Structure 1
């Protein structure tokens, strides 16, 4: 093991230099992380994607056994194509206390800090283990981490806490909404546009379906459950993509709509979806006498559960003691892998990391040096606690 631990910014520069877009290889990044951690004594496992081009990495520092802490982050980033960057997005660039590059905020800044914390942890005995979980393909629906979580679910050495390092400006987020990503396929009957009334326009079916989604959203907003900890305190329904048709003079027979449900903990997404399916069947049935093949089929494409860790959990109090005075409790609008860890492993999950999602997914994404330093300080305190005995 080297006597010199790299600075977090140096680690971050190497991570940013790897353009680990979702669905693209991340193995070079994992090789770099493993080259740092293995000589320090970390026990490392990989869980590969089916095609072998990407993998999750699980690294453990310290003793075998339960009661440890997981530091979890994803390695993939969103694309830069079509964005007006003023600098190379895959070269870490510093200006006026800000560190720019794709993934600095979401969320390679935390990953870099967690790697440094693991190297610090390796310098002395821990009472309980520190685990580092790095996943792939989070940005497209928390896809990659599931194989890692499945493997951990069968083990006896259950951790006591998982910290997801998504950007929260170093506040503690105890929850986020769940998400279902769905596709509605509206099947009409094609025909010549000069005889359009004799056909069933699938785009028109799609328009009726979007109106039904809007009505369902209005009901959730006006009479549904509310959680005031969120900026939008109710469950939401959103249609993001609608496509269909091939030519102006052809009545289209297919229209596809990509939509989503983001639910607060008090709402069951299955019940929301069941109501949407009933509305879709009713729309198709209105045309059934003339067009028996009319239908709207809905398929689930992606999704992840929400997170709702009780604010009075001992884990919250424990993490607050590691942070600067005044660290608040929040819930975040974006989704994370936290609900999967919570649901499958049954351990408290909290979200806390440097930077703000206001800077994520944008050109000239950045994390401030101050935020990165605050994360380093928190994780240094965490390592000290793990030397003393953990939670």
Structure 2
């Protein structure tokens, strides 16, 4: 059955906005949609001009109001078995299927479908719209937007991140730091292994130390989160060329998902100190060119908003649910919160469907989101 939100979702799903691709076609579609309803928008491009954030304001040009924020990129479909076309809307038994339907083009479609209602009557407070790029690869794109808003005279006071929470209000999630470690040793024939510096062996020592750090992180617990402690894991590793060659190089990536009030800086510093003060001297006794380097891949802060604040009470009224909680996945919320906007997460769909083949969002969840946005609109006018 056709409806404005369904039709908009179908158009959004048709854009392949996998993070490695440009999102400009979708962004230009959104910009045109807003312009048709008299809403001007601003684009903030990346350095190459291949991607952009979109920012728009509806209502008075004053400080305060509410921002609705969501990302436009999606995760890849390669290696997944889909029974429906991933970049098209398929409707079956009360569900809308397609890559990004729940994470998080369903929310974006609801916001766009609500634009006619947003502009129908004057508002006493502004409504801000923020659509970002490259969230799925470390909340990279939104930073130019948060920098713009941090110093803006008309900065929104409140922010709703529309990530899928089944329309349950969320006040917190962990932060994340992702790092790459490159270990460079000294190659030689394996028959003379003691003359070489085995990069894999030294990388293994580093990984063992990382696991010890992970065990220590688990000792500090916060029952509001699941898992209730900061976690550390090595996700990828590669090195060596042949069994009869002492490996010259080894590379591995690791991440720390930390409690909001327990930053990972101290862990990273201890690991780097262990590498520089204990491992490198031993390596360079055999070969001067050995090295261990760390490269940041991505990072974003955790979110921990007071669930008893006035904004939390308002959001509970708008979405019809006062069962506040936390989520295991990260969002851009911590960045907006750091920029001075009280931030909560609430959106349609479930992350149980996100990132999976045959991703879907239920019509029921779409309807619940539209109801929340309707209640928000009335509050902005009251």
TM-score interval (norm. to shorter): over 0.9
Q: Partner residue of 1:87?
A: 84
Structure 2: tracts of 5 or more residues without a match: none
Does residue 53 of the first structure (1) align with residue 50 of the second (2)? yes
Shift of 1:275: 1.7
- Listed one character per residue, the Cα deviations across residues 26-66 of structure 1 (whole Å, up to 9, x for unaligned) are 12112221222112121211111111121111111111101
Shift of 1:288: 4.4
Contact 2:87–2:99 (Cα < 8 Å) also in 1: yes
Does residue 370 of the first structure (1) align with residue 367 of the second (2)? no
* 2:265 alignment partner, one of 253, 259, 270: 270
Q: Partner residue of 1:341?
A: 336
Shift of 1:107: 0.3
State the secondary structure of the residue aligned to 1:284: helix
Shift of 1:264: 0.5
Shift of 1:122: 0.7
Q: Partner residue of 1:322?
A: 318
Q: Partner residue of 2:144?
A: 147
Structure 1: tracts of 5 or more residues without a match: none
The whole-number CA distance in structure 2 between the counterparts of 1:70 and 1:221 is 35
The whole-number CA distance in structure 2 between the counterparts of 1:269 and 1:45 is 35
Shift of 1:295: 3.6
Shift of 1:82: 1.1
Shift of 1:290: 3.5
State the secondary structure of the residue aligned to 1:303: strand
Q: Partner residue of 1:240?
A: 235
The whole-number CA distance in structure 2 between the counterparts of 1:268 and 1:337 is 16
- Listed one character per residue, the Cα deviations across residues 150-192 of structure 1 (whole Å, up to 9, x for unaligned) are 2222210121211000011111111111111101111211111
Q: What is the root-mean-square deviation of aligned Cα atoms in Å?
A: 1.5
Does residue 382 of the first structure (1) align with residue 379 of the second (2)? no
Does residue 313 of the first structure (1) align with residue 326 of the second (2)? no
350-359 or 283-292, which moves further after superposition? 283-292
Contact 2:195–2:286 (Cα < 8 Å) also in 1: no
Does residue 196 of the first structure (1) align with residue 196 of the second (2)? no
**1:54-203 maps to which residues of 2 (within 5 A)?**
54-203=51-200
The whole-number CA distance in structure 1 between the counterparts of 2:30 and 2:37 is 11
* 1:279 alignment partner, one of 268, 274, 277: 274
Q: Partner residue of 2:256?
A: 261
- Listed one character per residue, the Cα deviations across residues 88-132 of structure 1 (whole Å, up to 9, x for unaligned) are 001111111111100001000001111122221111111111111
Kindly tell me: are residues 13 and 161 of structure 1, through their superposed partners in 2, closer, same or farther at Cα, counting changes over 3 Å? same
The whole-number CA distance in structure 2 between the counterparts of 1:372 and 1:173 is 18
The whole-number CA distance in structure 2 between the counterparts of 1:242 and 1:309 is 36
Q: Partner residue of 1:304?
A: 300
- Listed one character per residue, the Cα deviations across residues 272-313 of structure 1 (whole Å, up to 9, x for unaligned) are 211222232323344443445444222212111111111122
The whole-number CA distance in structure 2 between the counterparts of 1:363 and 1:245 is 34
State the secondary structure of the residue aligned to 1:86: coil
Kindly tell me: are residues 287 and 52 of structure 1, through their superposed partners in 2, closer, same or farther at Cα, counting changes over 3 Å? closer
Contact 2:61–2:126 (Cα < 8 Å) also in 1: yes
Contact 1:55–1:135 (Cα < 8 Å) also in 2: yes
The TM-score, its normalising length taken from structure 2, stands at 0.96
The whole-number CA distance in structure 2 between the counterparts of 1:295 and 1:33 is 48
Contact 1:41–1:61 (Cα < 8 Å) also in 2: no
The whole-number CA distance in structure 1 between the counterparts of 2:117 and 2:26 is 20
The whole-number CA distance in structure 2 between the counterparts of 1:285 and 1:239 is 24
The whole-number CA distance in structure 2 between the counterparts of 1:186 and 1:13 is 47
The whole-number CA distance in structure 1 between the counterparts of 2:7 and 2:134 is 24
Contact 1:106–1:357 (Cα < 8 Å) also in 2: yes
Shift of 1:6: 5.8
The whole-number CA distance in structure 2 between the counterparts of 1:230 and 1:153 is 28
Contact 1:182–1:300 (Cα < 8 Å) also in 2: yes
